[in-house]
Amino acid sequence: MKYQIIDLRDYPDLLKESIEYVAERWGLNRRIFEDCIISSMTTKNPLPRWYFMMKQDEIIGSYSLMNNDFVSRQDLWPYLSNLYIEQEQRGKGLGSVLMTHARQEAYKLGFSKLYLCTDHIDYYEKYGWVHLCNGYHTWNRESQIYVIDTHKEEK
Q: What is the pLDDT of residues 17-72, one digit of tens each?
A: 999 999 999 877 788 889 999 999 999 999 999 999 999 999 999 999 999 888 88
List strand residue ranges (DSSP E) for 56-154, in order: 58-66, 79-85, 113-118, 130-136, 142-149
Amino acid at residue number 72: S
Q: Enter the DSSP assignment of 116.
A: E
Work out the number of other CB atoms within 10 angstroms of the CB of residue 100.
15
Distance CA 48, CA 120 (A): 23
Could you give the C-alpha distances from 58 to 42, 55, 106, 122, 148, in angstroms and in order?
A: 24, 5, 25, 29, 30
Distance CA 132, CA 102 (A): 19
Q: Residue 82 burial by CB count (10 A; 0-12/13-18/19+): exposed, middle or buried?
A: buried
Does residue 146 register a pLDDT over 80? yes
Q: What is the pLDDT of residue 73?
A: 87
pLDDT tens profile 64-90 = 999 988 888 888 999 999 999 999 999
Could you give the percent of the chain with pLDDT greater than 90?
78
> Could you tell me the fold of the domain covering 4-149?
Aminopeptidase (3.40.630)
Q: What is the pLDDT of residue 137?
A: 83
Distance CA 47, CA 82 (A): 14
Local structure of 125: helix, strand or coil: helix
Q: What is the pLDDT of residue 122?
A: 87
